[in-house]
Amino acid sequence: MAPIPLEIPDYITQLYQDPQRHYHNLDHINHMLSLIPTDHPNGRELTYATWFHDCAYDPQAKHGVNETESMQHWEKHVEERGEELSDIKEIVCLMIDCTITHTVPSASPVLVQNETKTHLVQRFLDMDMDILASQRDDYLEYTRKVRREYGYFTDEDFRKGRAKFLRSELKKERLFYLDENEGKNEIARQNMRAELAMLEECL
């Protein structure tokens, strides 16, 4: 696991312990942290993005609201730390913002002609989606946790929404960006296709 910066505010870790969080909690954060190479030159950026990307989480919020509020928490933290984090403020904001669509914006001025930062965002998104390529039992447990987070939906409405999400993701050419994660693409597709088949049986 990459070192966790000591400057992570207590209130951020407390947000991840909210009882309504079944998947987007400290287990998810710790798993992502474990995927950061200990010698990665941008480990600081990856670690901060991991801690802040889901700190605001309301399952009933409109699309993009949670991510926007999470970025605001990060910006507040940067402001409180003064110049210490100003050099990574923009890239961490972008990494959080990219979790809205889980795509890397090629037209972003932060990434244009910057292969290092593009690769960094790709690594972060791969970390966030790693659960999709987990072993079958772990994947099923993940789906159960997601269902609990969306407990306010009826079973029928949840199945329709989840099936829509899975179909959209399965249309992507790659679910994981980095070449080192190439093997995870097919594992994730198998998991997602199996889940989709179960959902469609009930629709």
Mean pLDDT of 8-26: 96
DSSP letter at 37?
-
pTM summary value? 0.94
Report H helices in 17-135: 26-34, 43-53, 65-81, 89-98, 115-128
Q: What is the pLDDT of residues 103-160, one digit of tens each?
A: 998 778 888 788 999 999 999 999 999 999 999 999 999 999 999 999 999 999 999 9
Q: Is the Cβ–Cβ distance between 120 and 42 less than 8 Å? A: yes
Question: Per-residue pLDDT for 63 more than 90?
Answer: yes
Give me the residue spans of the domains in the chain. 1-128, 132-203
- For all residues of the chain together, what is the average pLDDT? 94
pLDDT for position 148: 98
